[in-house]
Structure 1
Amino acid sequence: MTFQYACAVADLAPEEAMLVELDGADGATVPVAVVRDGDGEYHALSDICSHGQVSLSDGEVSGCLVECWLHGSQFDVRTGKPVQLPAIKPVPLYPVSIDGESVLIDVDTPVAL
């Protein structure tokens, strides 16, 4: 696993999301939505909605759900699975590690569910 700095812990309040772009092992840029859920836990998932190809980090976070602003699909940030149509495919999740005041993400090892 190769964890990279994504943001500071203090950059997100509960029920907020932000876009970070990290470097994949193949050199490609990986857009990641870093989400802090309603319980204060941090999650990392693909920033691209599996239905509308738009940024999930621009959507609203409520509890453990992030909503795609374009068509209203909702994804569980703990599993990546859609819980509200029209999306039917999950989005990839990435491992998150908190090191002091830093949020670290490994985009090279998606979480298998």
Structure 2
Amino acid sequence: MPGFVTLARLSDLPTGGALEVEHGGSIYALFRLDDGRVFALDGICPHQGGPLAEGGCVGTVVTCPWHGWQFDVRDGRSPTFTRIRQPGFAVRVVGDDVMVEVP
């Protein structure tokens, strides 16, 4: 059922870090920026299925650890391949709950 679901605890997502979460057969990559904002992208890189949450995030850009594809965690846009956009999901933080709007 679509809607917001709790996928993680904020306390499990360090500032400047990422976390991979599975829900309903899908993989989500959660990112907590240095300023505390939290974003969610489809966790599987469209290039060859690399785990985006394992990539390094510099500023707002995550780099897939397998082949270097990059995406802005705020909107999923690739800074190098302008026609490619990684699906993103709305996030709410309620107390310690990181809630993501899943399809």
Give the TM-score normalised by structure 2.
0.90
Provide runs of 4+ in structure 1 moved above 6 Å: none
Q: 1:101 aligns with which of 87, 96, 99?
A: 96
The amino acid across from 2:26 in the alignment is V
Query: Equivalent residue for 1:19?
Result: 20
Q: CA deviation at 1:43?
A: 0.3
Determine the structure 2 residue equivalent to 1:26. none
Identity %: 32
Could you tell me how far 1:17 is from its partner in structure 2?
0.7
Corresponding letter in the other structure for 1:47: G
Match runs of 1:18-97 below 5 Å? 18-23=19-24, 29-84=25-80, 89-97=84-92
Unaligned residue ranges in structure 2 (runs of 5+): none
TM-score normalised per structure 1: 0.82
Rounded Cα–Cα distance in structure 2 between residues aligned with 1:65 and 1:52: 18
Q: After the TM superposition, which residues 2-13 of structure 1 pair with which residues of structure 2 at under 5 Å, given as runs?
A: 2-13=3-14
* 1:30-88 deviations in Å (ceiling 9; x for gaps): 10001112221100000011212111011111111111011111110001011146x95
Residue 18 of structure 1 contacts residue 35 of structure 1 at CA under 8 Å; is this kept in 2?
Answer: yes
**Where does the alignment leave 5 or more consecutive residues of structure 1 unmatched?**
24-28, 109-113
